[in-house]
Amino acid sequence: MTQFTFHAAKLQSIALIATGGVLLSMGLTACSQKTPTDATNTSNPPAAGSAAVDAKPATPATPATPANGASPAAGQAGGPAPVVSVTTVKVEKKDLPVVLKAVGAAVSLASVDIKPQVTSAIAKVHFKEGQFVNKGDLLFTLDSRNDEANLAKANAQLAKDQAALADAKRQLTRSRELVAQNFVSGAAVDTAQTLVDSTAATVAADLAAVQAAQVALSFDTISSPHAGRAGVINTPAGSIVLANNTILATIVQVNPMAVSFNLPQRDLADFLAAVSGQNNVKVTATLPEEKKPLIGKLQFVDNAVDTASGTVKLKAIFDNKDSKLWPGLFVNVGLTTKKLENALVVPQSAIIQTVRGPVVYAVEDGKAVNRPIKLVFSAGPEAVVTGVEENEVIVTEGKQNLRPGVKVVERSKDAAPATSAANPTAPAAPAPATTK
């Protein structure tokens, strides 16, 4: 009996716990379904039928205004289409020369190191460092006393042998007269003739010795081999110089001057076609600080392409009376090979490089139109292209803001573009042009 009572009490406890759990779940569900308005008004519950009167309709949200004050973007219902201010030019048709450009260096056509041909001492220097000298001007005088003495000795020996030759000739004449009178035999004439011939040979050797002494004496005076500008004097007066070893000075020819430059092998075909044609190739050299180029003439073209650099060496001659070119000076070289006739020319600033190739934006009926082009040749600020027509209007400034179909308006060249108040760095979009 006691065991039965215990099991009954245990079942009653389990039932009470289950009933409490169900009630707790129902309470939580009721709390979650209660609205915030009900939660706030639990202290003062509304009267029956007043909920419809007190409820207010929700106010629709106002669209946010852009931070920079700009109008709604194109494509929104009721928004104005964007207008981009641009600067335009017209496509020109003209003849444009094809100029191959390179960087060259001015070099002298003749640069000579002055060296003595005899070992001696410098007696006198007849010019100053950096002086311009003409061909044949005296530069150095060496100590010539020994050579002068050798020349005098050779002349004396020559005079002695010439006197002996004259006496031998007189003896020959007497021998012939005696033979004719039968006073001496014919052998005497032969002996006299032999003496004359041998003495004449001695005189000839003396003449050669005199000439050799004169040449040695001429080495003591050193003259300029060509006109040019003298460099540094390495050996002043009194210095001992060695034959064919000591460099006394350097004379560099400065008029005319040559410009040496290299042409890439990709331009070799156009250059060879221009050289083989009837027109002469025009070569210009422009100094970095000057705009007016110097006109020269092509002188030398190397017979092979340098495999290390892939270039061909060329040289042109320029008149340098004003001494604008100086040895070692770098210049910009232009080589005119041909002329493109009736070429369509546009500014380089109008070309946009894309992954599909270069394009430009043209203006048709006030809208931007994308024009794919092909770049034929570029020369400084201009470029020859295909894919456009003459007098077609293309955009040069403001193209970065364009898309196909966007309305454009011509920007005033005198007035600066305005900026908005919210974003001073961004140009304000101009109002669309009105038609009368």
Q: Tens digits of per-residue pLDDT, 223-244?
A: 999 999 999 999 999 999 999 9
Poorest-pLDDT segment among 7-16, 102-111, 279-288:
7-16
Spatial distance between the Cα atoms of 282 and 270, rounded to a whole number of angstroms = 13
For residues 300-317, give the mean pLDDT: 90
Whether pLDDT at 32 is above 70: no
Alpha-carbon distance of 143 to 399, in angstroms, equals 80
Cα 335 from Cα 118, distance rounded (Å):
47
Mean pLDDT of the 314-330 span: 91
pLDDT value of position 400: 86
* pLDDT > 90 fraction of the chain, expressed in percent and rounded: 38
Domain parsing of the chain, residue ranges:
82-109+254-412, 117-251
99 burial type by CB count under 10 A (0-12 exposed, 13-18 middle, 19+ buried): middle
The whole-number pLDDT of residue 19 equals: 57
What average pLDDT does this structure show over 420-425?
A: 38
pTM value? 0.56
Residue 188: per-residue pLDDT = 84
Which range, of 140-144, 279-283, 301-305, averages the lowest pLDDT? 279-283
The residue written with tokens 């003591």 in the block is 220
18 vs 57 pLDDT, higher one = 18
Give the range with max mean pLDDT: 250-259, 289-298, 371-380. 250-259
Identify the CA nearest to 325 among candidates 283, 266, 359. Answer: 283
Question: What DSSP assignment string belongs to 331-364?
Answer: EEEEEEEEEEEEEEEEEGGG-EEETTEEEEEEEE
Residue 24 has pLDDT above 80, yes or no: no
Number of H helices and E strands in the chain, helices first, is: 6, 22
The pair of three-digit structure tokens given for residue 127, joined into one six-digit string: 């010019």
Report the largest interatomic distance among the alpha carbons of the chain, rounded to a whole angstrom. 207
Q: What pLDDT does 403 receive?
A: 87
Mean pLDDT of the chain: 79
Q: What pLDDT does residue 330 have? A: 94
Q: Is 310 left (phi over 0), alpha (psi -120 to 50) or beta?
A: left
What is the average per-residue pLDDT within 14-43?
50
d(CA 2, CA 25): 36
Predicted local distance difference test score (pLDDT) of residue 36: 42
More confident residue, 272 or 129: 129
* Class at the top of the CATH hierarchy for domain 82-109+254-412: mainly beta
pLDDT of residue 209: 95
pLDDT at 13: 58
pLDDT tens, 111-142? 999 999 999 999 999 999 989 999 999 999 99
pLDDT of residue 224: 93
User: Band of the pLDDT at 58, cuts 50, 70, 90?
Assistant: very low
Least confident of 72-76, 91-95, 211-215: 72-76
Distance (Å, rounded) from C-alpha 84 to C-alpha 238? 83
For the domain made up of 117-251, give the CATH fold: OB fold (Dihydrolipoamide Acetyltransferase, E2P) (2.40.50)
Residue whose tokens read 């009470």 = 16
Higher pLDDT, 65 or 406: 406
pLDDT band of 189, cuts 50, 70, 90: confident
User: Looking at residue 139, what is its pLDDT?
Assistant: 94
- pLDDT, mean of residues 404-423: 63
* Amino acid residing at 405: G
